[in-house]
Amino acid sequence: HGKNGIFCISWSHKDSKRIATCSGDGFCIIRTIDGKILHKYKHPAAVFGCDWSQNNKDMIATGCEDKNVRVYYLATSSDQPLKVFSGHLAKVFHVRWSPLREGILCSGSDDGTVRIWDYTQDACINVLSGHTAPVRGLLWNTEVPYLLISGSWDYTIRVWDTRDGTCLDTVYDHGADVYGLTCHQSRPFTMASCSRDSTVRLWSLAPLVAPLLLNILTEQPWDRINGSTDTAMVPGAPPLLCGKVSRDIKQELDKLSCDIRAKKLRWFSECFSPPGGSSNLWDLVSVISGQDDSLLPPSYSGGVMHMKHLLKFKTSEAQELTIVKMSKFGGGIGAPSKEERLKEAADIHLRLGQVQRYCELMVELGQWEKALSVAPGVSMKYWKNLMQRRAEQLMAEDNDDAIPYGIATGDIEQLVTFFTGRGQLQEALMIAQGACEGNIRAPHSSTVNHTTNDVDSRQQYQSLLHKVCKELAEWYFQDGCSVLAACCHLAVDNIKLAMSSHIRGNELELAACVGIVLGEAANQSTAYCLELLARKYMMTPTWELSADLVQMIPDNDFLLAKLCAYYPGSPAEINLFHKRCGLPSLEDCKSLAEAAICEGDLLLAVKFHLLSSEPEKALWIGLDHVKEQLAGSDWTVDSVQPILDLMSYIRTDCLTMANLT
């Protein structure tokens, strides 16, 4: 390219020995990695972008300043393009081949549009309009074939459904031109963007394809999870996974003979979740579920570990460091005393056997080591007191040298407070766990049996350990890492708080997956997650999914009733939905409501009226009951809440008549 600027470089997906560059000199040059030029493709103007086909090793596309997209075929000796696509109104900056649809590529232009081209039809099949400035970044999703992401000089990132040209989402977070977009290799719904605002930002596309993970969660057939590209590309069809990551997961699951559901939930939830603790979380779930420790990955020791492993792994780490650093070990004792007279006096006290006085003078001279070395000659109590004084002094100076003194005296609370105050919660956690396992304890100053005291101390340290884990979890949560917060709670087997962290962080799908794998210990929290998810998907495209979620919850009669009461549709559609949920038809519900009134069961009467063709009757019955209860002096929330809760699910379109405003 001479001295001309090189705008783009692209490595062949199929042949790692070939690399392409394009430049302001108008050439796209194909080289081997040792520099040998294989092809030089001349363009009428500067070439800004190039991309190798992921399905054909000899095909490459370029974007040119002359507004055209060209496709070259390297297997021929011709330097002319096979195809020239025209349509853009300004220069083409970038091109991208679809990784899942053979012959499909996109181009981004300074005219503010993204165009989708079909090589086999020799035509533009869609124009994506919405950006208000030149388009720079382009990225196809590697699992859902119709998802395309673009970045622009208008500071936005847009996510497109290329089947019909719909913009699914627009992100405005960047403060300047968006240039680059890329995707995580094994987590295809996690992408990154870079901008002239000097930031790199990570994004999750999972909310746009959320029904997929819920199909996995509710054990739907594979054809509702994995599928062919042709099936996924049908306009209006629900998203399907068509890429390598999902195929690899399915192949691994097909090899398993046991524990299939747990592995399926783990692998797919990791596929959908961004990096940031999800692998760590599932490792902890495996530990709690009783998995053999030898199956834990090497990365486990670098994250939040279960407390039963913390000291073992850290001890191993310390031994490795000792071996590495042994050759660098060196001694050296501090300089002599500066106050000769005090030193002389101290020596006299020592020769006279006045050890405590000697120690105090050494402390005054700053020679703590000498004082501490002979302090046991006074008593263990005095030595411990002196150690605590030294630790307090160093802690006040925020000096790490305080740590060994605190550990030697067994002052666990002081050490935990020291680390916590510095924000070193991981270190505080290790200290607390070390105390719980009996590795850190206060020295005994008498020969009395200390078993009872040890038990009391152990309980105290356990309480301290849980407290530190909660503080560390809250720190992670406030930092936006709800998954790592959950890891901290799982590290001390606190499943309830771990699930709570997921729910608070709106990680409902992940929480449900984890809860199902943890089983009985998480049943209550799992049911609550499933209920929240069911509410979230009570909308036109996903009603059936919502019903599947509710049916996974034990004792779901009233939850199903609320769901069906809220379901919109014609009488025939409502009856079909009732049948799917195992509930009577509209007319049968009407009869059951009247029978419940005769028997005096108002709750059942409200429930079945809500499910009937006359749901407004439930409102009158419920309101009369609530008024009657409130008129008395002994009413309680429990006496009105169940009926009020049911009434809240009446559809508002049932209240639009004049007499029910």
Token pair recorded at residue 178: 């968006």
Q: How far is CA 287 from CA 300, 309, 530, in A?
A: 11, 10, 24
CA distance 165 to 148: 10
Q: Give the pLDDT band (50/70/90) at residue 595.
A: very high
The domain tally of the chain equals 4
Instruction: Give tens-digit pLDDT for 310-348.
Output: 767 665 655 554 454 444 444 444 434 346 777 777 777
Q: What percent of the chain is modeled with pLDDT above 90?
A: 51
Residue 450 has pLDDT above 50, yes or no: no
Mark whether 143 and 20 lie in a shared domain: yes
Mark whether 176 and 315 lie in a shared domain: no
Report pLDDT for 439: 64
CA distance 75 to 426: 58
Q: Are 281 and 486 in contact (CB under 8 A)?
A: yes
Predicted TM-score of the model (pTM): 0.76
Report pLDDT for 443: 58
Mark whether 374 and 397 lie in a shared domain: no
User: Which range is least confidently modeled, 89-103, 208-222, 238-252, 441-455?
Assistant: 441-455
Residue 441 has pLDDT above 70, yes or no: no
What mean pLDDT is predicted for residues 567-595?
A: 92
- What range does the domain containing 344 cover? 310-324+338-378
Mark whether 33 and 179 lie in a shared domain: yes
Instruction: Give tens-digit pLDDT for 187-207.
Output: 999 999 999 999 999 999 998
Mark whether 112 and 69 lie in a shared domain: yes
| 214: in domain | no
Mark whether 362 and 405 lie in a shared domain: no
Please name every residue paired with 71 in a beta bridge, in sequence order, or none if there are none: 61, 83
Mark whether 568 and 652 lie in a shared domain: yes
Long-range CB contacts (within 8 A, 24+) of 231-240: 232/144, 232/145, 232/146, 233/101, 233/145, 233/146, 233/163, 234/163, 235/163, 235/164, 236/163, 238/211, 238/212, 238/541, 239/144, 239/208, 239/209, 239/211, 239/212, 240/144, 240/212
Q: Which of 158-162, 408-412, 534-538, 607-611 has the highest mean pLDDT?
A: 158-162
Mark whether 172 and 320 lie in a shared domain: no
- The CB-side HSE value for 43 (13 A sphere, CA atoms) comes to 31
Mark whether 105 and 126 lie in a shared domain: yes
Mark whether 607 and 646 lie in a shared domain: yes
Q: Are 606 and 620 in contact (CB under 8 A)?
A: no
CA distance 98 to 120: 13
Mark whether 150 and 53 lie in a shared domain: yes
Domain boundary among 177, 199, 221: 199
**Phi/psi at 274 (5° precision):** -75, 160
| 499: in domain | no
User: Which range is least confidently modeled, 46-60, 337-351, 377-391, 502-516?
Assistant: 337-351
- CATH of residue 158's domain is 2.130.10.10
Rounded to the nearest integer, the mean pLDDT of the chain is: 86
Q: Which residue type does 363 have?
A: V
| 247: in domain | no
| 428: in domain | yes
Mark whether 356 and 402 lie in a shared domain: no
| 329: in domain | no
CA distance 543 to 533: 11
Q: Are 108 and 135 in contact (CB under 8 A)?
A: yes
Residue 108 has pLDDT above 80, yes or no: yes
Token pair recorded at residue 126: 């869609």
| 612: in domain | yes
Q: Are 216 and 200 in contact (CB under 8 A)?
A: no
| 455: in domain | no
**Phi/psi at 23 (5° precision):** -145, 170
**Phi/psi at 619 (5° precision):** -65, -45
Residue 148 has pLDDT above 50, yes or no: yes
| 63: in domain | yes
User: Which range is least confidently modeled, 40-49, 343-352, 460-469, 584-593?
Assistant: 343-352
Domain boundary among 199, 219, 254: 199
Domain boundary among 142, 169, 199: 199
